[in-house]
Amino acid sequence: MTIEQALKQRSDSKCELCASDSNLTVHAVAASPDSSAGNCVLLCETCHSQIENPEIADTNHWRCLNDSMWSQVPAVQVVAYRHLTRLADKTDWAQDLVEMMYMEDDVKEWADKGLVDDNAEKPRDVNGVELKKGDDVTIIKDLPIKGSNNVIKQGTVVRGISLSDDPKLVSGKASGQSMYIIAEYCRKK
């Protein structure tokens, strides 16, 4: 049985958050121990797109979490908790639901771990714009290269940057050399 089949059977072919039955998709819950059906939820297109892009979230749509937060499925509890926590800053009803919610200790730990990942500091350019993997950036001032007498000149374009574990740094190739660059000395193109 595939993960999708198992989730459809578990949820009666309905979104596990809002109970819609249209355009269902499998959503792997972030920070899961593995990618089994127990660590995934079945979501409708609306719920899935708003979880993936929280900036477009319609707070009224998420009133459905009032019911789904009581699910016996840990993955559903985790998704409901995380989304209610994100909404708690904007709405009183979401804060009230977060305070009422009960989860086993291991499920709560899983839910909190995903929130930490969501809230991790992100690298930002000189204008405060978030930098993402694959972005092209322009160097805004001459930067000396450690360990050599060379300098990366202002206006140099670094294409297809990668992110590092340190949110203050991005990596890329400039003048044929791979290097780490302080994000605040870059401007996203």
Furthest-apart CA pair in the chain: how many Å? 66
**Continuous segment of H or E residues that includes residue 134:** none
Q: Alpha-carbon distance 41 to 38, whole Å?
A: 8
In angstroms, what CA-CA distances link 104 with 17, 28, 158? 19, 20, 47
In angstroms, what CA-CA distances link 86 with 66, 100, 128, 134? 15, 15, 21, 27
CATH ID of 137-188, from 2.102.10.10, 1.10.10.10, 3.40.50.2300, 2.30.30.40: 2.30.30.40
Enter the tokens of residue 56: 């477009």
Q: Alpha-carbon distance 69 to 60, whole Å?
A: 16
pLDDT tens, position by position, 119-166: 557 788 888 888 888 899 999 999 887 777 888 889 999 999 988 777
Enter the tokens of residue 168: 């203050």
pLDDT tens, position by position, 27-52: 989 888 777 889 999 999 999 999 88
Kindly report, as residue ranges, where domains of CATH 2.30.30.40 are found in the chain: 137-188
